[in-house]
Structure 1
Amino acid sequence: LQRGVLSVCRSSGFGLQIHPCDSSSPTLADELRQLVHRSRLAGLVLAPPMSEQPALIHALSAAKVPFIRIISAREDPADGSPCVYVDDRDAAYAITEHLIQLGHQRIGFLWGGSGHRSSQERYQGYEDALKDYGIALDRKLIVPGDYTFDDGFRGARKLLALKDRPTAIFGSNDEIAAGVLAAAHSDGINVPYELSIAGFEDSPFSKQSWPALTTARQATEEIARHAAQRLIGDLQREANGEPIDSRNEGFSPELVVRGSTATRHTAPATRGAAKRRKPAS
């Protein structure tokens, strides 16, 4: 994200200041207003979960602080605040559909952080795909958690302990999915022969795991570049007395199939006997 914003700032004659924030702080709006004033910032690029807090957005707008949001949404929110939106629901639907088309009916789902809109959108894509394919939703296969490796590991252990355990698990991001993979390895479960695993975001976790993870490629750097270009463009148009473009741009992550997912097998696997698939790049 930072690399994408920085590349635009450099090419446009702007500097970039990174400011870590506690998104749960009750004084966050005041902190950002003071930051803009003290550092004489031209504007802010807001990432989730800050970018998805209505009270914060209202406070910044009221203080006339220029900003651009990066948010999770299936369509342009058209709410009067500029944003770049990512259709997590559509990509999660594609991942779940991929697993269903491989023959999986019992598909576990591990949630990300509840404070992120992307968690709800990704879950919605999972639920919608099951519904469209006539597969009943089993609440025992849905586990709350956060966007962490440890929560992926714990959630997977819970799912794999079920009497009728899932044949596939969809982790809400690659870090969660890597935790699922570690749990499967610790239980001697062959991936993908006995268990298919999918993640989301196409992070380094997805490529460095063995087998490499099926995921959704989220062009984070490109999204960040577009956000910075929109913010700087709006600032320049306002300075020139030109109307600001109210149209928001959207992105949809792309399904990437790798070696962690395969056709569902009904016969028990012999430990270590399954042929490994060569992961895609």
Structure 2
Amino acid sequence: MPLASTGELVNPAAATGSAVAAFNVITLEHIEAVIAGAESAGSAVVLQVSENAVRFRYGRLLPLARAAVAAAERATVPVALHLDHVQSDDLLRQAPGAGFSSVMYDAARLPYADNLTATRAAVDWAHAQGLWIEAELGQVGGKAGQDGPGHSGGRVPDAHAPGARTDPDQARDFVAGTGVDALAVAIGSVHAMTTRTAALDHGLLKRLSAALSVPLVLHGSSGVPDDGLVEAVAGGIAKVNVGTALNAAMTGAIREFLAARPEAVDSRKYLSVGREAMAHEVTRIIGVLGRAPMMREPSDGPSPS
């Protein structure tokens, strides 16, 4: 099946009160697991490669991207490729040639005016290349290297600190001033959580949804309980990013396999167990998100493109 574009998946979801699951991938096993899980669920999916994942792969985007393209083209469900949390302009400019239809340009670490200026420049370039572009306003938290607006230290920002949440009025101005196609909002989720205890501010989400006409994105979704995810989609989230939940599933399955078989050395055996565990988690999460459209009527949000 030809590669889908992220906008072709997310915009209709926003218009119909549903959400697309977007999973961050690090290895070929992640890619295969996400596609297998989406095929089992009979659902379209977004494969995401983050700047951190590129850094892990010796700073080279193409090996993992080409693997993702090859796997996606053989999938029986629509699959789109998204370059996630991009801060490097050099990496941004590699996206179109590597098969990505969309980019999340992350200047949220900067003061508001600088975030707007940097994002506007990224949007102008991305739109000229036919890319759908997402940005972030507020501090989702959970990523080192961000001390909050205007800082770039090593501490992890607090997603619950004053000023961390996305302000609806500022978000409206930001979207108008940058021309972004989607906005990641800070409503209480945190990146890299290994417990599912994040409490989302659903009242704030409702206000953001009413204020904005672009699809809203939830980052840090691995730490959100199932009911919270369902309510978030019902409240206006159209793209749900998941990463840590897959890593936890893979690591847990491999750890259990090796503990029971200390003599094992064939990596194919334990990687296959980890891949299967991730695929099951993908199918499960897609099923959770599928419960949300029953909770709300279709919105007057963005029309399909």
What is the TM-score when the length of structure 2 is the normalising length?
Answer: 0.33
Greater Cα radius of gyration, structure 1 or 2: 1
The structure richer in helix per residue is 2
Higher relative contact order (CA 8 A, sep 6+): 2
What is the TM-score when the length of structure 1 is the normalising length?
Answer: 0.35
